[in-house]
Structure 1
Amino acid sequence: MSRNTKMKQIAAEGIDDHYHSEDDEQFNSEDEEIIEDIIFHYKNQFTKKEVVRILDKHNWVEDDVYDALDDLKKKREQKQNKVTEEKKQPTGGNVLVKKQQNQNQQGKSNNDQAAQLTKQASSSVTAASTSGATTAPSDKSKAGEYIKIERDVVKFNQAYPSVEYDIEADKKEENVKNMNLVIVGHVDSGKSTLVGHLCHLKKVIDQKLAHKNEKESKNIGKESFKFAWVNDEFEAERQRGITIDIGYKVIQTKNKNITFLDAPGHKDFVPNMIQGVTQADYALLVIEGSLQAFERGFEFGGQTKEHAFLVKQLGVQRLIVLINKMDTVNWDRNRFEYIKLELTRFLTSIGYSEDNLIFVPISAFYAENIVEKSKLPEAGWYEGKCLMELLDTLPVPTRPVNTPLRLNIYNSFYQKNKGLIIQGKVEGGVIFEKSKALIMPQGLVVTVKEINRENVKVKYAKVGENIDVHIVHKEDCEIRSGDVLCSIEHPIPISRIFEVELSAFELSYPILKGAQIVMYINTAKCPGYIKKITAILDKANGQITKKNPKCIRNNECAIVEVCIEKENCMELFSNFKSFGRVVLREKMNTIGVGSITKIL
């Protein structure tokens, strides 16, 4: 959904109800096994919530639960068959579902079902190779068809072959350097004010809007928010004075187009912050330099440590730390050096190299050391570059193009006279207009009708670029943030169970087997639990120090198996870092970040 749609949904539900969905009902390991067995028995036809509802209704008497679910399954099949007959569709998702159901009723095995489905769909599915390769649709598949992708765990855990793309040389295109920059930090540190003032100075917004924001913020006694309102456009954000969802602004420097991702700083909205970090090449950590403000964000339950930890573990290796609101302490150098020292100690302890840390004193509201170096006498002690000069010197990360197409979807919406638009970042390969692709985990074949980058129509887009894609499809479909548009020849793996090499964060209590978690991969999230704790690892060398431990403690590294409620797109970390990194949260707190080492 678009940011506008999402904010309307938040307003309708209420902020607290919308963002406290992580506190799911807790179950012990035995109950989890019962629930998991039932879900597997019915091959994911029922969600965890549906299974729990039926279990509660029948007092967890398993025979009665299976009878009830059999009845429910039968009713759904009858309803689906009736709809299919009414539509009289010779191809498409419902027919494939009906065929598969008929095969299930005949008692055939999964492999027989795959072979039958392949034969009946004709050219819509490419037959699996003798080695048991994943069944995948061919380029002749029709847009709107739902294709059954058979699971091949062996192939899921192998490296991809190099993919060659026929791209016309375009010197003008090659000179365009795009970079994604996420802005993180504790609430009220001045992140939105920084982006908003940059938009004023770079004339990204017109003067009419700037004047309107200044007038309206002054009328309600919040004149200091006039720049922040450039990003915080919605009533819910303005009422609370905080950013709720990720804000996107593209600002040009001398050498680059930089997409600024303004992440929320409040603890309630860390999931949205994670979505911003997963799209970033570099990060700005904004710190409030006012007296006691740094300490509130760093020591006393603030978000500075959690944000920095997530940024590092999600793959951002270089960090620019902006000590903001230096005007409030009269540009006191001692204050700057104290904050720098404390942060350096912490940041190096979580894995950052001092060479990859840059500290800049700024005043976002007064634009000091932002676009040009401050000329204030009291700031004369700072001898480094201003922010925009620093950003212009950062190298654009090398992005390998010869990989299968992977586009992570973070927004979708319908546009008048166009149809369905998806927004996302190309994480692998190249996407071409008028080509066919696959949306996973649904298995929906679509046609890419048009590609737009920064509101300009282009013939193709490469890895690392943020784009809008107009797709053509026949069936009604629900596309969510975290779904993936991928290559038909090399579909992205989907699974519910996977192995993770996990780095635990600062924990209130140890992580136990059966612990309820919410999993984040790129912009997707799904509830689940810790299925197994396999081993504790030595942080220094990665060697196993203890097998089958009872728990994971503060800052320990471990190998764990995670089971989630629904099949989700994922990759080995060694194949695609952006789909191989996992964040685990519990009760609104991050408990660890890791990399996928095996898809099960």
Structure 2
Amino acid sequence: MVSSTSRLFSVTHARHTGKEHLNVVFIGHVDAGKSTMGGQILFLSGMVDKRTMEKYEREAKEAGRETWYLSWALDSTPQERAKGKTVEVGRAYFETSARRYTILDAPGHKTFVPSMISGAAQADVALLVISARKGEFETGFERGGQTREHIMLVKTAGVNRVIVVINKMDDPTVEWSKDRYEEIHAKLVPFVRSAGFNPKTDVTFIPVSAYTGQNIKERVDKKLSPWWDGPSLLELLDTMPMPDRKINGPLMMPISEKYNSMGPVVVGKIESGRLKKGDSLVLMPNKTPVEVSAIMDETEDEVEKAASGDNVRIRLRGVDDEDISPGFVLTSPNKPVHAVTQFEAQLAILENRNIICAGYSAVMHVHTLTEEVTLAALLHYFDKKTGRKSKKPPQFAKRGQRIIALIETTAPVCVERFDEYPQLGRFTLRDEGKTIAIGKITKLIDPGDQVPDVGGLSLGGSTNAA
């Protein structure tokens, strides 16, 4: 599979010279204008030239979709273009005078939440795109709308900074109204707080029009919006504090996709450590020894080395393409990532369609991995008033509760304790298309260890019945 970047852009990119690199995921309701904004950023930062943009505009008009033309710079499959909905995680690349960026454009549509999770798992900053258009904000935000679920998932996926981009400020129902901006701001603040973000330090609000380009690169015209004194979106991104990169830690790179191009190529974001061409590494959980035969950056230029925070493609020697799956982790032989079939985790229960008790099965999303898991036992619950752990295990878990559970997988999975490597230690559990719980791994149980004694609660019978 060729990247959308090389397929779409014939622009020659400046080689990056030690610029800081930030991964940005666009999230939000299906029609909030995420792809349009991505397209506009690529155009305004010079990654897509005028001629290419005009070609997209013409094609979109012929397809009867005039305002989609900017998003065609990101949406790369004919299926996505026909629908105007982004399906896979679209990737694109741009740079400013200060930094270089990878855009991960995640689908907003309900059925595509798993792709959204894998996009967010690779990001440093989330741009939550909100439509200010009357009626559209309300639809995305009410119960069942995707805005709520997305912001919760992004926090779980490990993104600690959010820019809430209030888009479509040029819409006839809005006309850059300060009142409308403040109304949306007031409704979102308690919500981002409840998802675990600190509204003062982790979240920034900014008004834009992705379609007209106002307040994206240059600050919005004072004639349109005399009340906005803040930066433009790109100014804000260029001045955000950089995340802490574990450059000196052991190498860990979860694989998000793979393809064959003169040998197997794996794609992913390095979460810890560094690597260089010629390195001998291990592909976990299968313990396959591999060698790095080439490293490509976001623009598919070959580079000699890469470090934590980089999004790269790596050609491997010593393994077959079919023996690699998304969710595997490329790691250093001296301190490989853990591969376990049992771990203890703290879960916050968000929904419970079915009774959550020992024997309950759900789908776990952790970094780039999707795996079916079973709650082998519920070990403790936290008292809401005191925050203390119960001595007795709960019989079942209800919405709003925090519990500790023993979780089992059928095949070994590559995970770490949340305290040590947050990106490999936080996960979501989903069931019947809903996010049921968000979790943090607190203890890894080595294959040699005995399952802890849980007072006969590992209910052999219930597992057989499941």
Q: TM-score range by the shorter chain?
A: 0.7 to 0.9
Contact 1:290–1:326 (Cα < 8 Å) also in 2: yes
Aligned residue identity for 2:110: K
Q: For 1:320, what is the secondary structure of its paired residue?
A: strand
What pairs with 1:121-160 in structure 2 (closer than 5 Å)?
Answer: none
Q: TM-score, normalised by structure 2?
A: 0.88
1:361 counterpart residue number: 207
2:400 counterpart residue number: 555
Distance in 1 (alpha carbons) for counterparts of 2:156 and 2:385? 16
Q: For 1:305, what is the secondary structure of its paired residue?
A: helix
2:265 counterpart residue number: 421
Which of 162, 173, 195 is the matching residue for 1:319?
Answer: 162
Q: TM-score, normalised by structure 1?
A: 0.69
2:104 pairs with 1:268:
no
1:185 counterpart residue number: 28
Distance in 2 (alpha carbons) for counterparts of 1:366 and 1:525? 38
Distance in 2 (alpha carbons) for counterparts of 1:508 and 1:294? 27
Distance in 1 (alpha carbons) for counterparts of 2:413 and 2:319? 23
How many angstroms does 1:385 deviate by?
Answer: 1.0
Give per-residue Cα distances to partners, 1:311-345, cap 9 Å, x unaligned: 12222222110111111111121111111001001
- Relative to structure 1, the CA distance from residue 474 to residue 274 in structure 2 (aligned partners, 3 Å threshold; closer, same or farther) is closer
Deviates more, 1:187-196 or 1:405-414: 405-414
How many angstroms does 1:540 deviate by?
Answer: 7.7
How many angstroms does 1:545 deviate by?
Answer: 4.0
What pairs with 1:164-563 in structure 2 (closer than 5 Å)?
Answer: 175-328=18-171, 329-355=174-200, 356-375=202-221, 377-415=223-261, 418-454=262-298, 455-473=300-318, 475=320, 477-508=322-353, 511-538=356-383, 542-545=387-390, 547-563=392-408
2:464 counterpart residue number: none
How many angstroms does 1:546 deviate by?
Answer: 6.2
How many angstroms does 1:229 deviate by?
Answer: 1.0
Q: For 1:547, what is the secondary structure of its paired residue?
A: coil
Aligned residue identity for 1:232: D
Distance in 2 (alpha carbons) for counterparts of 1:248 and 1:207? 20
- Relative to structure 1, the CA distance from residue 547 to residue 461 in structure 2 (aligned partners, 3 Å threshold; closer, same or farther) is same
Distance in 2 (alpha carbons) for counterparts of 1:540 and 1:577? 27
Q: For 1:377, what is the secondary structure of its paired residue?
A: coil
How many angstroms does 1:462 deviate by?
Answer: 1.2
How many angstroms does 1:3 deviate by?
Answer: 6.2
Aligned residue identity for 1:185: G
Q: For 1:544, what is the secondary structure of its paired residue?
A: coil
- Relative to structure 1, the CA distance from residue 540 to residue 368 in structure 2 (aligned partners, 3 Å threshold; closer, same or farther) is farther
Distance in 1 (alpha carbons) for counterparts of 2:182 and 2:305? 47
Which of 439, 443, 446 is the matching residue for 1:598?
Answer: 443
Distance in 2 (alpha carbons) for counterparts of 1:232 and 1:585? 26
Give per-residue Cα distances to partners, 1:11-60, cap 9 Å, x unaligned: xxxxxxxxxxxxxxxxxxxxxxxxxxxxxxxxxxxxxxxxxxxxxxxxxx
Aligned residue identity for 1:406: M
Q: For 2:52, what is the secondary structure of its paired residue?
A: helix
Contact 1:517–1:586 (Cα < 8 Å) also in 2: yes
Give per-residue Cα distances to partners, 1:430-465, cap 9 Å, x unaligned: 112112111111221111112222333322211111
Distance in 2 (alpha carbons) for counterparts of 1:541 and 1:410? 40
Aligned residue identity for 1:404: P
Aligned residue identity for 2:238: D
RMSD: 2.0
The count of corresponding residues between Structure 1 and Structure 2 is 431
Distance in 1 (alpha carbons) for counterparts of 2:2 and 2:413? 21
Contact 2:263–2:321 (Cα < 8 Å) also in 1: no
Gaps of 5+ in 1: 5-171
Distance in 1 (alpha carbons) for counterparts of 2:423 and 2:2? 22
Give per-residue Cα distances to partners, 1:257-315, cap 9 Å, x unaligned: 11111111011011001011111111111111111111111114111111111112222
Q: For 1:381, what is the secondary structure of its paired residue?
A: coil
- Relative to structure 1, the CA distance from residue 378 to residue 319 in structure 2 (aligned partners, 3 Å threshold; closer, same or farther) is same
Aligned residue identity for 1:186: H
Bigger helix share: 1
1:59 counterpart residue number: none
Give per-residue Cα distances to partners, 1:137-172, cap 9 Å, x unaligned: xxxxxxxxxxxxxxxxxxxxxxxxxxxxxxxxxxx9
Give per-residue Cα distances to partners, 1:386-408, cap 9 Å, x unaligned: 10111111011121222111111
- Relative to structure 1, the CA distance from residue 542 to residue 427 in structure 2 (aligned partners, 3 Å threshold; closer, same or farther) is farther
